[in-house]
Amino acid sequence: MSFDASAVSRRSFLIGASGALVAFAAACSSGGGGTSDGGTGATVSGKFGDVQAPADPQRVVSVGYNDQDTLLALGIKPVGVFDWYGDYPNAVWPWAQSALGDATPSIIGDTATNIDVEKVAAATPDLIVGTYAGLTQDQYDKLSQVAPTITQPAQFTDFGIPWRDQTATIGQAVGKSDDAAQLVSDLEAKFASVSAANPSFAGKTVVVGALQGPGAFGVYGPQDPKVRFLTDLGFVNPDVTQQITTTNFAPISTEQLSLADVDLLVWYAGGGFGDKLRAELANTPVYQQLPVVQDGRVIILEDEAAEAMAWSTVLSLPFALDQVPGRIAPLLA
């Protein structure tokens, strides 16, 4: 079977390449940052230490996978974004396009060119946000020469900050903590409502898997946002995934697929991988013999709802909640 290498690279951070995609295409130019009101904002703790954010930042660049969503939810239209996918204009998906309006942030990099520090500097930011970017120390140091740079708090793995903490962290950085808290409260209420409407989810074990390549599969750990989406609905992690603690993904051999025999098996196949995944699974006898497969408790998520679940922001998750639970519930009836 033929695999599109560019497509694999395009989504590879979602299947265990935490941080590998974010490199720099240009040497960092000194300075170049924009200006806020000149005051002192909040001190924000990150993976590389405390950062002094400006008061009332006016020009914010997002270098993360999904950070622009949280900025938009807080009423801030970023002046620069990193385009991870290239599927939609301005690196903004359908659930966030109304919040962006007619703004046109500059693209400061993509998965083919990587982050271009010169383009970041050209956007004259007074704040850079990368809580879901997997930045290395070197990358962080270069960006910090352009403007104060916010990362995820140290307790979270790269690409592992929960949406609640991401919203709170970005809200603190831009001086909108109260607004961020309200966004979190509203979304928690929606999760509670959907959970209450689906009592069959409570206590059921779930594994979320993905295709890595020909004959190669893997499973996501508890810190992955797709897994968190399901546990927020009442599902629980089995022992096999609870052991994934230092990354958000782990490969499993064909012989280990029996570990995925749980109450519900979810395959993430964003990026057009659905047909490839189905073909690989059809040619894997061990998988076909699993009770979870034979009982029909398997679902492949591959559309915008799947991406909304993976995107995992206060803008995307309501979109996912409106669609994904209704597809899962009949499998557990």
- The pLDDT profile of the chain, 333 residues, written as one tens digit per residue, is 332 333 333 444 444 444 333 334 444 433 444 444 456 899 999 999 999 999 999 999 999 999 999 999 999 999 999 998 777 889 899 999 999 999 999 999 888 878 889 999 999 999 999 999 889 999 999 999 999 999 999 998 888 899 999 999 999 999 999 999 999 999 999 999 999 999 999 999 999 999 988 889 999 999 889 999 999 999 999 988 888 877 778 898 888 888 788 999 999 998 788 999 999 999 999 999 999 999 999 999 999 999 999 999 999 999 999 999 999 999 998
> How confident is the model at residue 129, as a pLDDT?
98
> How confident is the model at residue 75, as a pLDDT?
98
Q: Which CATH number fits domain 5-189: 3.30.200.20, 3.40.50.1820, 3.40.50.2000, 3.40.50.1980?
A: 3.40.50.1980
SS3 of the chain: the string is CCCCHHHHHHHHHHHCCCCCCCCECCCCCCCCCCCCCCCEEEEEEECCEEEEEECCCCCEEECCCCHHHHHHHCCCCCCEEEECCCCCHHHCCHHHHHHHCCCCCEEEEECCCCECHHHHHHCCCCEEECCCCCCCHHHHHHHHCCCCEECCCCCCCCCCCCHHHHHHHHHHHCCCHHHHHHHHHHHHHHHHHHHHHCHHHCCCEEEEEEEEECCEEEEECCCCHHHHHHHCCCCECCHHHHCCCCCCEEEECHHHHHHHCCCEEEEECCCCCHHHHHHHHHCCHHHHCCHHHHCCCEEEECCHHHHHHHHCCCCHHHHHHCCHHHHHHHHHC
Say how far residue 320 (Cα) sits from the centre of its chain.
13
> How confident is the model at residue 4, as a pLDDT?
33
Domain 198-332: which topology? Answer: Rossmann fold (3.40.50)
User: Is 5-189's fold the same as 198-332's?
Assistant: yes
- Tell me the sheet residues that pair with 200: none
Q: Please report, for the chain, the start and end positions of each structural domain, with discontinuous segments joined by +.
A: 5-189, 198-332
> How confident is the model at residue 16, as a pLDDT?
46
